[in-house]
Amino acid sequence: MKWRRTHYSAEITPEMDGQEVIVMGWVHSIRALGKIIFVILRDREGMVQIVAPKQKVGEELFSQIKKLGAEDVIAVKGKVIANEKAPNGFEILPLELEVLNTAQRPLPLDPAEKVPAELDTRLENRFLDLRRPKIQAIFKIRSEMLKSVRKTLYNEGFVEVNTPKLVASCTEGGTELFPISYFEREAFLGQSPQLYKQMLMATGLDRVFEIAPIFRAEEHNTRRHLNEATSIDIEMAFADDKDAMEILEKVVYNAFLDVYENRKKEIETLGIEFELPSEKFDRITYDEAIDIANAKGVEIEWGQDLSREAEKAIGEEMGGLYFITDWPTETRPFYTMPDEKNPNICKAFDLMYKDLEISSGAQRIHLYDLLVENIKKKGLNPDGFTYYLEAFKYGMPPHAGWGLGADRFTMVLTQQENIRECVLFPRDRQRLTP
């Protein structure tokens, strides 16, 4: 490479008329009209029109440009020419061209194609799929969201941690784990950092967060589940469920705000109506939620988890973001703190967006005896939780936390219906590649 890029396409303006620039990217389209060639160059920030009249660029450069094909990778040194009729009010007159790589043709998937291919074909050729600005916009918004989430958590005094994904045997119960062979032993892939982040509450680090992959060997095949997902996890000491919900509101609201303010172009590219939520989210109890479902003709008995139909009915009624609180204790994992007055309900909450659960959390049990009792009640063996339980014996403060699905949150922010649209290389039962 002789040169370095001086400007992304979107950084060039008509006011730069006469200035020399170097742009780099892919040949989005090429049109030769006798003695003039129009090349649209695509880079991360947009497109730029390069206009090469034979008379001005000379024989050699003209024939070099003429040989270009769709999706070739090029660097162009050229002069900015203000032109009201050109796409962004300017075009580039090429002075020199470097072909950095060529593309075989036909392409298995054409990034310039207006009609999108089937999802499976797109995922098979994700590197080409991602050249479409609409697809790239999803992942720029995802990156912005992750940046925003961390910013809020740092501001709230959280410390970033990394907990192990290779675990000996501990399981929270309820979810299938992927087994690994770990040298001479069997081990498993962590389904969530739950037990680790709770153990860290006994350290004095007080507020921790982790954004990391989680692995669930569940056989579901839905538009909302994957076998490998990215989870945003927090845990906070000296806090209850209400405190954790407040942090969650801040994290989610600020992410909406940051995407809204910093990713206007991507929102426009996606062509979505992006509305900021209010800073405080509606809160309904589980009892109210099942009343709504029942009123809409979806049968659900007290004590059951919400069925897909119930979620849809409730989501239709509630719209946007809302919490469901006061869950029946039996619907939640063993570490959930029961209500002092009525132990049949517990201090758990879900954050929903319409009919999609995007986060789940609770105040946790910090009392050793109650925790052991609850593990047994769920039909699990406390002996499988030795290391975890140790942390509750020597001074465990009250604590609460939640997990927020990064992939699902991206679905909400980009208004996608299938979680696979929000993950670069999704993993489900059928798909382990690319």
User: Of the two residues 54 and 150, which places its CB atom closer to a second copy in the complex?
Assistant: 150
Order of strands, sheet of 282-285, starting from the edge strand that comes earlier in the sequence: 159-160, 207-215, 228-237, 399-405, 356-363, 345-353, 321-328, 282-285
SS3 212: strand
Catalytic residue among 263, 332, 366, 408: 408
Distance of CA 28 to the CA centre of its chain: 28
User: Of the two residues 328 and 398, which places its CB atom closer to a second copy in the complex?
Assistant: 398
| Phi, psi values for residue 259, rounded to 5° | -65, -45
User: Of the two residues 77 and 296, which places its CB atom closer to a second copy in the complex?
Assistant: 77
Residue ranges of the annotated binding site for L-aspartate are 172, 216, 360, 364
- Strands, E, within 205-344: which ranges? 207-215, 228-237, 282-285, 321-328
- Strands, E, within 307-373: which ranges? 321-328, 345-353, 356-363
Assess contact for 352 and 289: CB atoms under 8 A: no
CB of 315 to a second copy, least distance (A): 27
State yes or no: is 7 an active-site residue: no
Catalytic residue among 360, 366, 420, 421: 360
Residue ranges in 132-276 assigned as alpha helix (H) = 133-155, 194-199, 241-262, 264-270
Burial of 100 (0-12, 13-18, 19+ CB in 10 A): middle
Residue 337 is given by DSSP the state: P
Catalytic residue among 218, 228, 309, 317: 218
CB of 272 to a second copy, least distance (A): 20
Amino acid present at 139: F
The two structure tokens encoding residue 365:
């049990």
State yes or no: is 408 an active-site residue: yes
State yes or no: is 357 an active-site residue: yes
Distance from C-alpha of 384 to C-alpha of 425, rounded to nearest angstrom: 34
User: Of the two residues 108 and 303, which places its CB atom closer to a second copy in the complex?
Assistant: 108
SS3 374: helix
Residue ranges of the annotated binding site for ATP are 216-218, 224-226, 357, 405-408
- Angle between the N-to-C axes of helices 406-414 and 133-155, in degrees from 0 to 180, rounded to the nearest 10: 120
Residue ranges of the annotated binding site are 172, 216-218, 224-226, 357, 360, 364, 405-408
Terminal alpha carbon distance of the chain:
29
Catalytic residue among 7, 42, 224, 420: 224
CB of 159 to a second copy, least distance (A): 5
90 DSSP β-pair partners: 82
Catalytic residue among 216, 332, 366, 420: 216
Mention every residue, 6+ apart, whose C-beta is less than 8 A from residue 134: 269, 270, 271
How many of the other CB atoms lie within 10 Å of CB of 295?
Answer: 10
State yes or no: is 360 an active-site residue: yes
CB of 20 to a second copy, least distance (A): 18
Distance from C-alpha of 59 to C-alpha of 44, rounded to nearest angstrom: 31
CB of 429 to a second copy, least distance (A): 6
User: Of the two residues 320 and 398, which places its CB atom closer to a second copy in the complex?
Assistant: 398
CB of 37 to a second copy, least distance (A): 19
Distance from C-alpha of 347 to C-alpha of 427, rounded to nearest angstrom: 33
CB of 11 to a second copy, least distance (A): 11
User: Of the two residues 301 and 383, which places its CB atom closer to a second copy in the complex?
Assistant: 383
State yes or no: is 225 an active-site residue: yes
Judging by DSSP bridges, how do beta strands 321-328 and 345-353 pair with one another?
A: antiparallel
| Phi, psi values for residue 325, rounded to 5° | -120, 180
CB of 304 to a second copy, least distance (A): 28
Residue ranges of the annotated binding site for Mg(2+) are 357, 360
- List active site positions: 216, 218, 224-225, 357, 360, 408
